[in-house]
Chain A
Amino acid sequence: MNATEKDLPQLEESFIEEAERIISQYPVSKRSASLPLLHLWQRHFGFVSPQGVQWIAEKLDLEPIAVEEIATFYPMIRQRPLGHYQFKVCRTLSCALAGSYEIFEYIKKSCKTVNEVGHHVYVSEDGKFSVEFVECLAACGNAPVMMLNEEEWMDVTQTKIDAILNHLIREKRKEEF
């Protein structure tokens, strides 16, 4: 069974070129490019859909189950859309000692992420924000630590969250006009 072509999102030339470039870095086994291609797909589409899994599998001459097995193994690879702005707060010991649970609750409240879509994962009604706990981000000396999308934030405080949110809301407004 092939992925039905019409189900596939329109893939830009540049996306395919990037995929080829990535594959070329694994001259011994294309299969090694599975996780990098999952990253690429997610960066492009926000999450990895079944079509993404199919496309990657075909690209790498793999059975789709091989790609599905790894897509579900690595928590950073998401199989459903999350918020436009994704807060990932470190939950592990050093950050917890520094108050990351409170930061987590504060973001939840501030972003009105009321829908629990998974263990420790919340999304706002409008889908704009999501907040989730992640495990150690390897910046324990600056606890509490979080990521906002792919950007790292250190020594997070409630004041910092307020400032970030104000900024995001301003940016969002600009986009809307």
Chain B
Amino acid sequence: MSALIKNPFNHDLPPLEAPLVNVQLDGQWVKVPKGLNIIEVAKRFGKFIPHYCYHPKLSIAGNCRMCLFEMGMPKLDANRKPVVDAEERPVINWLPRPQIACATQATEGMAIRTNSKLVKDCQEGVMEFLLINHPLDCPICDQAGECRLQEYAYDFGKGRSRFVEEKVKKPKRVDFGPRIILDDERCILCSRCIRFAREIAKQDVIGFVNRGSYSTLTVYPGRVFDSNYSLNTVDICPVGALTSKDFRFKMRVWFLREAKSICTECATGCNIIIGSRENIVYRLTPRVNEEVNSHWMCDQGRLGFHYIHSKKRVTEPASHLNGSLFPLEWSEALRTVAQKLMEFPPSEIAFLVSARLTCEELYLVKKLMETLGKGTEIFSEIIPRKGVADGLLRSADLNPNTKGAIGIGIGKEGRRIEELKNKIRAKEINCLFAIHENPEEVGIQEDILSSLSFYVWQGLIPGPAVHKANILLAGASFAEKSGTMINIAGRLQKLHKAILCPGRAREDWRILRDLLLLVGVKERVFEKINDVFDAMSKEIDLFESLSWNTVGDLGIDLSQKLKNRSIL
């Protein structure tokens, strides 16, 4: 297993060749890979050892002391043979001192108690200590609802405080970086954020100053924690010390509806959870996928969703007439488009399609082109987007589904944009269908668009020359649709619809399906996205033998198939 991001530590993934050892977990003998740490051992058998500072992808700090457990080893006789009791079970020598699970690795014969009297006492003690200087400002804390302090106080704490002294005062509302606010009084000094910044983001500007109970998390004065990965510290902060400026005070987390999806800001396809309420997306957070993004995502991807709620979005189909926009009924809009498309000779039609569309949408576009082309290939192209790969999660390809477009056979990776421009100028192409792309972006400006006889635009936020479009079709954003995309490493992954489209906007696959019906493809009507996928898998060999349901939450590796086709 290897994520696209190289984690310096993978405490939860023992080497495959690790031999199995027998450990006694709360009285049950189980087999686990040798060297696996005890938090992960417990997790594998449905036990939970609470922890704050431990993170499977960061170095072991061992400072929170929440994961204390009781450890024992088999008692050995003079011949170093295990002593057994009347029932032939090994007698365990329990250590008098509790050990930290995060720094203890499974060895043969080890015995573990995760819920003994001593362990409970340790947990109660640590919980009480962590809360004595904590402001207990849960009512106004953004972490409330997903706060480990709250959760563990409930599960492992005593439920009352004996602390009557004055609390330690520390800085509040500290500007931790352009995207993060720090409340030092909430901080439990677990050092997860510091370790993340040093070990993964490689931006070593945060640390602890002062000492003892006055220890304070800080950014070095004059520096900013502005790494493109900074917001991961908000995720891994087990308490409300680090909060996202973008999300704070916007929504209580327990109201968020969560949908599993993927980030569409670049070709990496980080797995995410879309948090929304009443059709408004409030945040994106990374979802663990060890094959892709592990536990992380970049800030750009995380905060890149706001455009979906832009006021500039086209939310209903419309037509342009004499410079004014007239709303249309979908049926009328689609009928007009279908009719027009069929009027042009195939050689005069071009599709400018986005590599940000899902495979299903691209497949329907492909089918539409084939139907209209009647044997002649219709011109299609995608708009390439190049960025800079950062060695972590950002990939140089900023389109999330370039591989899908190539695999399905749409466009030539953007190499024919100039040709398209010239063909429109030369009036060789007279009908343009732009799907989720603004031709202006690649220099096909108003003057060139003026040469077209018919121009359909389908998407979210139109460009400056959209008044040249005869028909506007209101499409859906990534959060409003289900489908699949293929990432830079050849992994087919799913998006799941999190919210409804605004206004009368529609999921793009439904728009395309209806157009297909209108241009005469009636052999099969797609009711659900599954139907589109399953049809695609029958027609496009890249997806052969796959079905919607076999592509799980973590996606499916198609890299070998893509390599065989020289797409990867």
Contacts and interface: CB of A to CB of B under 8 A. Distances in A.
Given A63-B205, A65-B205, A66-B204, A72 B210 contact: yes
Contacts of A75: 211
Interface in A126-163: none
Contacts of B211: 72-73, 75
A69 interface: yes
A50 interface: yes
A73 to B, nearest CB: 5
Contact of B207 (A1, A50, A65): A65
Chain A interface size, as a band, is 10 to 19
Interface in B214-236: 218-223
A63 B220 CA distance: 9
B254 interface: no
B206 interface: yes
B210 A65 contact: no
Given A63-B204, A63-B205, A68 B210 contact: no
A1 B223 contact: yes
Of A50, A63, A73, A75, most B-chain CB atoms within 10 Å: A63
Interface string B197-211: 000000011111111
Contacts of B223: 1, 64-65
Interface string B403-430: 0000000000000000000000000000
B220 A72 contact: no
Given A72-B209, A72-B210, A73-B210, A65 B222 contact: no
Interface in A15-36: none
A66 B220 CA distance: 9
B222 A68 contact: no
Interface string B104-132: 00000000000000000000000000000
Interface string A63-107: 111101100110100000000000000000000000000000000
Interface residues of B, dominant DSSP: loop
A1 B220 CA distance: 11
Interface string A1-25: 1000000000000000000000000
A119 to B, nearest CB: 9
A92 B489 CA distance: 63
A68 B209 contact: yes
B166 to A, nearest CB: 14
Contact of A64 (B208, B210, B220): B220
A131 to B, nearest CB: 21
B221 A50 contact: yes
B207 A69 contact: yes
Interface in A52-71: 63-66, 68-69
Contact of A66 (B207, B210, B218, B222): B207
Contacts of B221: 50, 68
Nearest to A54: B222
A153 B205 CA distance: 41
Contacts of A63: 204-205, 220
A72 B221 CA distance: 13
B209 A69 contact: yes
A2 to B, nearest CB: 11
Contacts of B222: 1, 50
Contacts of A68: 207, 209, 218, 220-221
Contacts of A72: 209-211
Contacts of B204: 63, 65-66
Nearest to B206: A65
A170 B298 CA distance: 66
Contacts of B205: 63, 65
A86 to B, nearest CB: 20
A64 B210 CA distance: 15
20 contacts: A1-B223, A50-B222, A63-B220, A64-B220, A65-B204, A65-B206, A65-B207, A65-B218, A65-B219, A65-B220, A66-B207, A68-B207, A68-B218, A69-B209, A72-B210, A72-B211, A73-B209, A73-B210, A73-B211, A75-B211
Name the 6 nearest CB pairs between A and B, nearest first. A72-B209, A65-B220, A63-B204, A65-B207, A69-B207, A64-B220
